[in-house]
Amino acid sequence: MRRHKLAVSLVSGFALAALHAAGGGCAKESVPTTWKELQPLYFQSLDLQNEEMQKALPDYEQRLENVAKGILQRLDDGELTDENERADAGLALFYQASLLQAGQQSIADGYLKAKEFLRPQRYAAGGDDRAEQVARLARSAELLRHAAELRPDDSRLAALTLAGRYNRESLDELHSPALLLDMLTAARTDAYNLDSTLVLWRNPTENPANAAHMDQLLTTVCDAQHLDCGRPPSPPPKSIDGERKLAQEVAAPVMTSDLLMRRAEALLQNADAAPSDMVRMPLLTEALARVQFAQGLLGFLGTSVKDPALSHYPARDGIAPRMDRLEVLLAATQGRMAGMMNPPSLPDPDYYTTRSYRAAYQCVACHTKGSTTVGFPK
Which of 96-105, 146-155, 307-316 bottoms out in mean pLDDT, i.e. has the lowest?
Answer: 307-316
**Helices (H), ranges, 151-276:** 156-171, 177-187, 191-200, 212-221, 246, 252-272
pLDDT at 218: 97
Which of 6-10, 182-186, 226-230 bottoms out in mean pLDDT, i.e. has the lowest?
Answer: 6-10
pLDDT band at 372 (very low <50, low <70, confident <90, very high): low
Question: 332-335: long-range contacts at Cβ-Cβ below 8 A with a sequence spacing of 24 or more?
Answer: 332/268, 333/264, 333/268, 333/284, 333/287, 333/288, 333/291, 334/288
- Arithmetic mean of pLDDT, 307-325: 92
pLDDT at 241: 72
Q: What pLDDT digit, counting tens, does each position of 53-90 carry?
A: 999 999 999 999 999 999 999 999 999 999 999 999 99
Delimit the domains of the chain by residue range: 1-174, 175-378
Q: What pLDDT digit, counting tens, does each position of 7-26 carry?
A: 444 544 544 444 344 444 44
Who contacts 369 (Cβ-Cβ below 8 Å, separation ≥6)? 43, 312, 375, 376
Average model confidence (pLDDT) across the chain = 89
pTM of the model: 0.88
pLDDT band at 175 (very low <50, low <70, confident <90, very high): very high
Rounded to the nearest angstrom, the gap between the alpha carbon of residue 197 and the centroid of all alpha carbons in its chain is: 9
- Arithmetic mean of pLDDT, 123-141: 95
Q: Is the pLDDT of residue 328 over 70?
A: yes
- Arithmetic mean of pLDDT, 303-318: 89
